[in-house]
Structure 1
Amino acid sequence: MALCGVASRRDSEKLILTGAVQVNGQTIRTLGTKVSSDDVITLKGERISLEEEKRYVLYYKPMGEVTTVSDPKGRDTVMDHFIDYPVRLYPVGRLDYDSEGLLILTNDGDLTQRLTHPSHEVSKTYIVRLSMEVTPKEVAMLAGGVYIDGRKTAPAKVRVLRKDAFSTDLLISIHEGRNRQIRKMAEAVGHSVVRLKRVGYGPLSLKNMVRGTWRELTEEEVQALKNL
């Protein structure tokens, strides 16, 4: 009841003890009675709804997992790691099956909409290994925008981290979220992606996380995302 905002925790206890609360038509007077979102709870005859606690998780997705709640092909999904989690989480955006890196999961639909809607231009940063040596001209093309699926990509931040005759590592930051965008951008300048790792999402980074592990976001991190 305190989570619903109808009364403080202490006042909620008083209401329960006086018989003002019913669950599924039955008056309860026992403090600590457990209820679920499927139960019908009334206070003095007026129905109240439990608001599920908002949770926020940062997951280091490895390659070989799909970023969906379920997969018709029976492949491993990121949700396999959260079967016993207290609330049902949903991925914010996607990472390809063959990609790895930072993935946010939450049950906060408003924040998901804010992070994924193009108008908010939330930056996503990747370390990308491309086939062969990427020329300065091609770097400039990626930064300025290339045409994929008939539309030009928005300007990106592109920096060369390492290169030789066989491959080039780039740090690329984009704020669009088009399907397989980084891979298609690479193809547009004549290269293929050898490896793709998302290392940043807005103010968040992987820091010292290990593949396949996850952690709860701090209150400061959640607020930073909401302020984007």
Structure 2
Amino acid sequence: MEENIRLNKFLSDAGVCSRRAADKAIEEGRVLVNKKPALMGQRISSSDEVLFDGKAVSNANKKPVLIAYNKPVGIVCTAEKKEKNNIVDHIGYPERIYPVGRLDKDSNGLILLTNQGDLVNKIMRAVNAHEKEYIVSVDKEIDGDFIKKMSDGVYLDELEVTTRKCKVKKLSKYEFNIILTQGLNRQIRRMCQMLGYKVKTLKRVRIMNIELGDLKVDTYRDVTEEEIATLNKMLEGSKN
């Protein structure tokens, strides 16, 4: 491990949780350094002992893991144990992993899980503007005005923000394809609601170069070496 590393980065690199979740755990007193409660912003070295929820943490010789999972409706994209339908316990992967971002409980489709903290940050930070693609069905017939307004950006009252311009294509009377480069909370559902539509089904089919394909619901696969090579190339220059 590199010397004098931030504790939240160490926990993220070790595959325990994201940096944001690490900060929350530190605030909640769930992290100990040399048997003392950790401090926000604390830096550690290789000689320090770190405990997370009472278990020792090490990132030595950690094999990188990146899997693609077809999440069913009802599973919650969190590693929090208090959530009975949390994605980590549901999958039961033999190593400690956590989800790359979120896919809301009522949605299904592709989500990545990993033990690589920097990878999570590079993919998820909005400033990096990486694509995520969805297929959505709604309760009313889609017209040209709907497609144009969705594409141009929709002001979301609840979040007080206008969504970025995006690519939207009508697939059928009630179904469309949308490619986003940001990930606001329940963004597509909120966009549709502002235009008088209600989402019936929402499935994510692609994250950057990684596609859902024919992966069966509630199953996962290892992301291939070829996919990882392409992903890393796409992430060059991304902030973490």
What TM-score bracket applies, with the shorter chain setting the length?
A: 0.7 to 0.9
* Cα distance in 2 between the residues matched to 1:84 and 1:127: 28
Give RMSD over aligned pairs: 1.9
* Cα distance in 2 between the residues matched to 1:213 and 1:83: 11
* Cα distance in 2 between the residues matched to 1:128 and 1:134: 11
Give 2:218's aligned residue: 212
TM-score by length of 2: 0.70
1:190 alignment partner, one of 196, 205, 209: 196
Structure 2 letter corresponding to 1:91:
P
Give 1:113's aligned residue: 121
Return the offset for 1:72: 3.2
TM-score by length of 1: 0.73
Structure 2 letter corresponding to 1:55:
V
2:67 alignment partner, one of 48, 57, 68: 57
Task: Say yes or no: does 1:176 pair with 2:176.
Answer: no
Return the offset for 1:71: 5.2
Q: Percentage identity across aligned positions? A: 35
Structure 2 letter corresponding to 1:176:
Q
The gaps in structure 2 that reach 5 residues or longer are 1-47, 50-57, 235-240
Return the offset for 1:54: 1.0
2:140 alignment partner, one of 132, 139, 144: 132
1:13-70 alpha-carbon deviations (Å, 9 max, x no partner): xxxxxxxxxxxxxxxxxxxxxxxxx99xxxxxxxx97231111100000101000112
The gaps in structure 1 that reach 5 residues or longer are 1-37, 40-47
Structure 2 letter corresponding to 1:79:
V
* Cα distance in 2 between the residues matched to 1:71 and 1:134: 40
Structure 2 letter corresponding to 1:137:
D
Give 2:82's aligned residue: 72
1:133-176 alpha-carbon deviations (Å, 9 max, x no partner): 1220111000000101211100111000000xxxx100000010
When Rg is computed on C-alpha atoms for both structures, the one with the higher figure is 1
Return the offset for 1:120: 1.2
SS in 1 for 2:177: strand
1:99 alignment partner, one of 69, 93, 107: 107
Count of residues in Structure 1 that have an aligned counterpart in Structure 2: 177
Structure 2 letter corresponding to 1:132:
K
* CA gap 1:187/1:49 in 2 versus in 1, 3 angstroms: closer
1:202 alignment partner, one of 196, 202, 208: 208
Give 1:16's aligned residue: none
* CA gap 1:96/1:71 in 2 versus in 1, 3 angstroms: farther
